[in-house]
């Protein structure tokens, strides 16, 4: 008798969501875990990165992302862990990000392959690229003067009187070179001052070390995304971790290679189109995970929302960052925070911090169709807003 061949293991969508929220650190009530060094590094290792963004309507993206999970904490401790103790480093993860220091070898591989071949010949790259002479000037200044900000490469008062196009072009070019040198690893962000980057030459910040192999680098696209997502089809993994720029054929090869090596397994998810993938160790614990509880607000640049197709297909939540939408066409607001309640995205809050007035303004609350705002939910949301105001160090809340 020929033995029957077992097909992929099947999971309910609810189990996949439960695993996803546990991997994201969003399955327990906010503040259940204290944000210490271990919890900080664990968050980076689980999700892959903390995205950085300059928008400061409520708070910086990486600070707000941590608050969503840990509640109020001392921001200076996070800065010290990143820029003092070097538990993490800034580089390209999901866009510009804070990454665990254990990923530095992966970063070095991207640095050594920068710029990617796909950028060659593109019109925007020919306008953005800088000369070798400019890069040498920037490196000379950093080595001679020590850490510098981008503003230090702006025209100085004495130079502003020199009305020459060549001077203006040189200074503008050097500021672009600073960013390009960060991409190729010769310059690093050694610290921040009022969120402004402080740059230094890499050898003064990180000891020299090996780079990951090209195979390891390509595999990181898949493995980091699965660590953060749990179970996912390929379309949910695209652009989760954006360091490796892989085309569709390369992604298929990465998946096939890791299936052969049994580093990942193929599974099926009820109601989800196509094959899905998971790390074997996640499947060992999926049945033991408790149901998600608690209420919190999610930053637009949170790793939970890096792949919006996933939020739409698993949580029936369609989200657009309307910062980039013209004001007249916005549906919900400029900087809207999704509301996560007991494992569901149930609404959106439009807040605005008025620092000069010590006031957190709630401009609007939009609940998802079909969600009934119970008294318990209203109380939980009110506590969440008060907790956010406490973190932002404001005493007054306007709205709701």
Percent of the chain with pLDDT over 90: 86
Using DSSP's 3-state secondary structure scheme, residue 251 falls into helix
Q: For residue 4, what pLDDT is reported?
A: 47
Q: For residue 7, what pLDDT is reported?
A: 81
Whole-angstrom distance, CA of residue 109 vs CA of residue 135 = 20
Name the pLDDT band for 117 (thresholds 50, 70, 90): confident
For range 89-104, the mean pLDDT: 96
Name the pLDDT band for 159 (thresholds 50, 70, 90): very low
For the cut 50, the answer to whether the pLDDT of residue 40 exceeds it is yes
Catalogue the E-assigned strands of the chain.
9-11, 50-51, 88-93, 95-100, 148-149, 187-193, 196-201, 231-233, 265-269, 276-278, 295-297, 337-341, 344-354, 359-367, 396-398
In this predicted model, what pLDDT tens digit does every residue of 178-188 receive, in sequence order? 999 999 999 99
> Token pair of 212, please?
């990951």
Surface-to-core class of residue 165, CB atoms within 10 Å of its CB (0-12 exposed, 13-18 middle, 19+ buried): exposed
Name the pLDDT band for 172 (thresholds 50, 70, 90): confident
Whole-angstrom distance, CA of residue 40 vs CA of residue 38 = 5
pTM given for the model: 0.93
Place of tokens 């010590």: 358
Q: For residue 165, what pLDDT is reported?
A: 47
Q: For residue 168, what pLDDT is reported?
A: 52
In this predicted model, what pLDDT tens digit does every residue of 386-395 receive, in sequence order? 999 999 999 9
Place of tokens 């739409």: 312
Name the pLDDT band for 299 (thresholds 50, 70, 90): very high
């Amino acid at each position: 008798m020929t033995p029957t061949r077992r097909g992929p293991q099947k999971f309910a969508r609810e189990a996949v969501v439960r695993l996803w929220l546990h991997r994201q650190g969003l399955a327990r009530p906010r503040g259940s875990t204290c944000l210490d060094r271990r919890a900080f590094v664990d968050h980076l290792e689980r999700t892959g990165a903390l995205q950085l963004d300059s928008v400061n309507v409520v708070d910086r993206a990486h600070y707000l992302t941590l608050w969503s999970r840990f509640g109020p904490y001392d921001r200076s401790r996070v800065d010290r862990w990143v820029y003092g103790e070097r538990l993490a480093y800034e580089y390209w993860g999901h866009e510009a990000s804070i990454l665990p220091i254990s990923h530095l070898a992966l970063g070095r591989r991207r640095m050594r392959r920068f710029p990617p071949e796909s950028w060659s010949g593109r019109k925007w790259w020919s306008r953005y690229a800088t000369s070798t002479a400019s890069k040498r000037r920037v490196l000379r200044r950093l080595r001679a003067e020590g850490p510098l900000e981008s503003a230090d490469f702006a025209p100085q008062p004495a130079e502003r009187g020199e009305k020459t196009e060549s001077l203006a072009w040189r200074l503008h070019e050097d500021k672009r070179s600073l960013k390009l040198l960060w991409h190729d690893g010769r310059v690093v962000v050694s610290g921040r001052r009022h969120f402004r980057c402080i740059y230094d030459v890499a050898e003064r910040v990180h000891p020299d070390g090996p780079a990951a192999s090209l195979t390891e680098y390509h595999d990181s696209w898949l493995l980091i995304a699965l660590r953060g997502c749990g179970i996912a089809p390929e379309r949910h993994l695209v652009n989760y971790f954006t360091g490796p720029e892989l085309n569709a054929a390369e992604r298929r090869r990465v998946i096939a290679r890791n299936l052969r090596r049994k580093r990942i397994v193929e599974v099926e998810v009820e109601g989800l189109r196509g094959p899905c993938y998971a790390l074997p160790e996640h499947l060992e614990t999926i049945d033991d995970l408790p149901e998600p509880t608690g209420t919190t607000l999610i930053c637009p640049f949170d790793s939970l929302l890096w792949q919006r197709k996933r939020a739409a297909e698993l949580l029936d939540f369609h989200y657009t960052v309307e910062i980039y939408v013209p004001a007249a066409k916005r549906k919900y607001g400029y900087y809207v925070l999704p509301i996560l309640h007991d494992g569901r995205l149930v609404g959106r809050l439009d807040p605005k911090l008025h620092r000069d007035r010590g006031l957190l303004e709630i401009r609007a609350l939009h609940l998802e169709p079909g969600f009934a705002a119970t008294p318990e939910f209203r109380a939980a949301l009110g506590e969440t807003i008060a907790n956010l105001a406490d973190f932002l160090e404001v005493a007054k809340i306007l709205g709701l």
